[in-house]
Amino acid sequence: MKAEEIQTFKQIQDVLKNIQHPLLKKNIVDLNMIRNLEFQNGTLAFKLVYLNPTSSFNSQVEEAVRSALNQISAIKDLQITLDWEITGSQTSPGGQLSQVKNIIAVASGKGGVGKSTVALNLALALAKSGAKVGILDTDIYGPSLPTLMGLKNTPPLIDSEKKKMLPLEKYGIKTMSIGYIIKDEDAAVWRGPMIGRMVQQFVQDVLWEELDYLILDLPPGTGDIQLSLSQMLSITGAVIVTTPQDVALADVVRSIAMFQKVQIPILGMVENMSYFVCPHCQETSHVFGQGGAKKKSDSLKIPFLASIPLDLRICEASDMGKPLLDSDADSKQAQQFLNLASAVADQVCLANDRKVEINL
Ligand code: ADP
């Protein structure tokens, strides 16, 4: 490299180091987003590696990079290759599920708020971005994944050599549920220590492969299963699902308090069945009140991730076992879940970054 080229190269590095990621508030070089930087004969080439392929901040970062580099007159040709890489927070190789980069718990204060529907559509939306995703239904008393996935009465196969269950694969994600193995009416008889063992089996005796995200569909409330999973696994963060009329209730706050007690970051709150758009006149009605979850998340200082409408298509798709993200992927309703997934993936990056800071 000639002397002027060395000088320009240094200038380029300095310019890039001055660009902050809008969410992570760190420069993009330290975040390892710039790779294979090469400058020769006026041509600058490098890879810009996003931490979340669908982040709404990506275009902002690219624009900032291009406009900063355009100020350097020695660059005659700018070749940026866009790429992405999902990073994880699992810090103990060889520990439980260390092959999974990020474990996201989806929880709710009480049942019937659409937690499983949100968990599944979140998993499918993350998979649509190209990530490797699995979902584990840990709701031993009322497993809904078999219905939502259209996999009722489908026992998983066993790998006879490793003596482990293989997750079922459908719609591009890996899934496991107690409901694949036992009948609905048998679920209610599980008690105390049996539950702990059962949950452990789903972690240890299932051949989970390398995944970017494993979604845990937790049972509602703050019982034994939630606690044992929180202690057993290195959970990246929790997403709390609520409905507008539920937000004022102590259940949501209790659920959040439980995660905070076991030091699991809250990735944010989702308001499900938020509003209803009349399919005939398109008028929006806030059937259960407006803005409650947003206010609650503001007062608790946790991110508000999305409002999902009360929609017949969401209900029908779930109940028929054909999730919306697959059967009606271009619909407005599916877009809401894609936006949710993007916001969750951003919060996962933030949680991982904070974890690195704490461990430094
Ligand atoms: P939970 O896991 O909280 O018990 P589910 O996900 O099983 O709740 O949902 C309960 C019922 O509500 C299901 O019939 C589901 O199809 C329906 N449902 C969930 N979310 C929506 C929504 N946004 N619009 C319409 N129906 C919904």
Residue range 334-350: average pLDDT?
96
pLDDT score recorded for residue 242 = 93
Model pLDDT for residues 298-329, shown as the tens digit of each residue: 989 999 999 999 998 899 988 899 999 988 88
| Contact indicator for 107, 218 with CB cutoff of 8 Å | yes
Tell me which of 318, 322, 333 to substitute to probe ligand 1's pocket, judged by most ligand atoms within 8 Å of the beta carbon.
318
* Centre of ligand 1 from the C-alpha of residue 321, in Å: 12
Cα–Cα distance between 270 and 336 in angstroms, integer?
Answer: 11
Report which protein residue has its CA nearest ligand 1's atom 19: 114
In a domain, 90, yes or no: no
Query: Residue 244's closest CA among 318, 311, 296?
Result: 296
Atom of ligand 1 nearest to the CA of 273: 23
pLDDT of 93 higher than 60 = no
Measured in whole angstroms, the distance separating CA 47 from the mean position of its chain's CA atoms is 25
Phi and psi of 214, rounded to 5°?
-115, 120
Asked if pLDDT for residue 25 goes beyond 70, the answer is: yes
For residues 111 and 63, state if they share a domain. Answer: no
- What confidence score (pLDDT) does residue 185 get? 66
Q: Strand 304-307 vs strand 237-242: parallel, antiparallel, or unpaired?
A: unpaired
Under 8 Å between Cβ of 273 and 114: yes
pLDDT at 330 over 70: yes
The residue whose CA is least distant from atom 22 of ligand 1 is 310
> In this predicted structure, what is the pLDDT of residue 275?
82
Position in ligand 1 atom list of the atom nearest CA 318 = 16
**Rounded to 5 degrees, what angle do the CA atoms 291, 293, 299 make?**
100
**Same structural domain, 309 and 352:** yes
Q: Looking at residue 52, what DSSP letter applies?
A: S
CA of 112 to the centre of ligand 1 (A): 6
- Whether residue 287 sits in one domain with residue 171: yes
CA of 149 to the centre of ligand 1 (A): 13
The tens digit of pLDDT for each residue in 99-158 reads: 999 999 999 998 889 999 999 999 999 999 999 999 999 988 788 999 999 998 888 999
DSSP H or E segment with residue 252: helix 250-261
Number of domains the chain contains: 2
- Does a structural domain hold residue 93? no
In a shared domain, residues 250 and 112: yes
- Percentage of the chain lying above the pLDDT 90 cut: 60
- Mean pLDDT over each residue of the chain, to the nearest integer: 90
| Residue 24 · residue 350 · CB < 8 Å | yes
Residue 37 to residue 45: CA distance in whole angstroms: 6
On whether both 119 and 180 belong to a single domain, the answer is yes
Domain endpoint, select from 49, 84, 119:
84
Burial bucket for residue 263 (CB in 10 Å: 0-12, 13-18, 19+): exposed
CA nearest neighbour of 194 among 141, 269, 126: 141
Is residue 288 included in any domain, yes or no? yes
User: Looking at the structure, do residues 60 and 174 belong to the same domain, yes or no?
Assistant: no
Is the C-beta atom of 115 inside 6 A of ligand 1?
yes
Q: Return d(Cα 144, Cα 51) in angstroms, integer.
A: 32
pLDDT of residue 355: 82
Please, are residues 238 and 105 in contact by the beta-carbon 8 Å criterion? yes
Is the C-beta atom of 132 inside 6 A of ligand 1?
no
Residue 192 and residue 46 in one domain: no
Identify whether 89 is part of a domain. no
* 127 and 199 share one domain: yes
Residue 295: pLDDT band (50, 70, 90) is confident
Res. 91 pLDDT band, cuts 50 70 90: low
Kindly tell me the burial class for residue 163, based on how many C-beta atoms sit within 10 Å of its own C-beta (0-12, 13-18, 19 or more).
exposed
Residue 222 lies in a domain: yes
- 47 pLDDT exceeds 60? yes
> Are 269 and 125 in the same domain?
yes
Indicate whether 152 and 296 sit together in one domain: yes
- Ligand 1 pocket member 89 (CB < 6 A): no
**168-218 pLDDT, tens per residue?**
999 999 999 988 887 766 665 666 667 777 788 888 889 999 999 999 999
Mean pLDDT of 240-250: 80
Residues with Cβ within 8 Å of 27's Cβ and at least 6 positions away in sequence, in order, are 16, 17, 18, 19, 20, 21
**What CATH number corresponds to the domain at position 198?**
3.40.50.300
**pLDDT at site 247:** 67
Check whether residue 150 and residue 74 sit in a common domain: no
Tell me, using a 6 A CB cutoff, whether residue 319 lines ligand 1. Answer: yes
Q: List, for residues 259-282, the tens digit of each pLDDT value.
A: 999 899 999 999 998 888 888 888
Q: For the residues 8-31, what does the mean pLDDT come to?
A: 96
**What's the whole-model pTM score?**
0.93
Evaluate: CB of 112 within 6 angstroms of ligand 1. yes
Question: In the prediction, which pLDDT does 360 show?
Answer: 53
111 Cβ closer than 6 Å to some ligand 1 atom: yes
Q: Give the residue from 84, 118, 153 where a domain finishes.
A: 84
Same domain, 145 and 239: yes
Q: Kindly give the number of the ligand 1 atom that is closest to the alpha carbon of 308.
A: 23
In a domain, 200, yes or no: yes
Any domain includes 91: no
Q: Supply the range of the domain harboring residue 279.
A: 100-359
Q: Which atom of ligand 1 is nearest to the CA of 310?
A: 24
What's the 142 CA to ligand 1 centre distance in angstroms? Answer: 13
Of the residues 50, 84, 118, which one is the last residue of a structural domain?
A: 84
Atom of ligand 1 nearest to the CA of 119: 6
User: Is position 33 within any domain?
Assistant: yes
Specify the 3-state DSSP secondary structure of 107: strand
CATH number at residue 71: 3.30.300.130
